[in-house]
Structure formats: C-alpha cells, structure tokens
Amino acid sequence: DVLEPDKQPKNLGRGGAKEDTNKALFLLQKKEDVELKLRAEEDALEHIKSRRDKSFLQEKFIDSFKGKGLFTCESIEPSSFVVEYRGNIFARGEGKHDDTVENYIFNFSWNRTNWCVDASAEDGSLGRFVNDEQKNPSCELKTVVYEGKPHLCLFALKKISPGEEITFNYGNRFYPWRSEVRLFIFPLVLS
C-alpha cells in the first residue's frame, strides 16, 4: 500500500484561526467603543439634567487677546464627555440676539431647524469659556437631546492632560483671531 499525505481541505473563503481571532478582536474593540460612547452620552445627560459642570474643570485668564479659557485639573480619556455649552436654547428667530463673539452666541442646525445657544449670561457654567482651535482641537461638539431640545456637548477627541486647555473647532466660519497677520517689509529705495 502507498501512503498518501493528508490532504488539507481547501480554504473556502476563510482565513483560518488567525483571521477569526483578528475578526473577534475587531468586534470586541467595536463593542467596547460603543459601550464607551454610551457611557459618555449617559454622563452628558446627567450633567445636562443637573445643570452642573465637572468639578475638575477650571476657568483661567490666558491673556488680553484670548481672554479666558477652560482647563482641566485631571486627565480626560478620549471619547469622554467634557462639558456642555450651556445657555438659553432657542430656534433662530424666536429670540432676539446679537451674533457677536462677545455675546457667546453659537448657531447650529438640528432636526431641520436653525438653533442658537446664547451663553452670554454669567451663570457659572464653564462651557462658555472653551476657546476655538482650528488645527488641533482637544474636543468635538455633538448634539445630545434632552426633553426634546438639543444640547451642545463637548467630547474628548484625544487624551487631555491635567493643565491642558479644553478647545474645539468652531467651524469653517471666518473669525478675526484666525487671520494670520502678515508683515511685509519693503526695501527702501533711495534715488
């Protein structure tokens, strides 16, 4: 009798145990990401309901150009809820407001309606002190719905270290502080 080597079954579209393990790890990571985002949104809802900010956030004066900013005294993990941009929420056209930086007005669209958050009242809320950072913001703005109204909440894009300023990108609109001041020096020509 002739012994034949064992024949391996043909691969029917499966990559074997290693590919199965990679898929399982990928799905597990996705599940953990979803759970983290759900916990962050639940945290945001709790802070919206109680109208309070996290105790480790602190407003600080930066300089006369930038004014005040919001800083953390503790580490903040990526995807975590950070702070709500809290104020008087109304559909645009319902309330009277002056759209200037000094008045802390933020315009946004939600559910096919244009909305405004007017955070100009000094009510002790800290979200109004979050400054613009176009190139490398530490947070992103998301809408969280509570009692049928949108609330603007900031969530960490990356790990934020103690002492670091909380920032987000205000959007594509022109803001005076974003313009780069260019100084041209012309050679002096004497005749």
Cβ atoms of residues 85 and 153 within 8 Å: yes
Task: Evaluate if residue 107 carries a pLDDT over 70.
Answer: yes
Domain extent, residue 166, equals: 21-86+120-171
Give me the sign of the Cα torsion angle 9, 13, 15, 17.
negative
Domain-located, residue 107: no
Residues 178, 132: contact at Cβ < 8 Å? yes
Number of folded domains in the chain?
1
Residue 54 lies in a domain: yes
pLDDT attached to residue 183: 46
Q: What is the pLDDT of residue 41?
A: 92
pLDDT, position 182: 43
In a domain, 81, yes or no: yes
Cβ(177)–Cβ(132) under 8 Å?
Answer: yes
> Residue 23: enclosing H or E segment and its boundaries?
helix 16-50
* Residue 98 located in a structural domain: no
pLDDT tens, position by position, 4-59: 555 555 555 555 777 877 776 676 666 666 677 779 999 999 999 999 999 999 99
The structure tokens 């609109």 sit at: 173
- What pTM was estimated for this model as a whole? 0.71
Please name the residues in contact with 108: beta carbons below 8 A apart, sequence gap of 6 or more.
114, 115, 116, 117, 143, 150, 152
In-domain check, residue 42? yes
The CATH number of residue 139's host domain is 2.170.270.10
157 vs 21: CA distance, rounded Å: 28
In a domain, 15, yes or no: no
What pLDDT score does 23 carry? 78
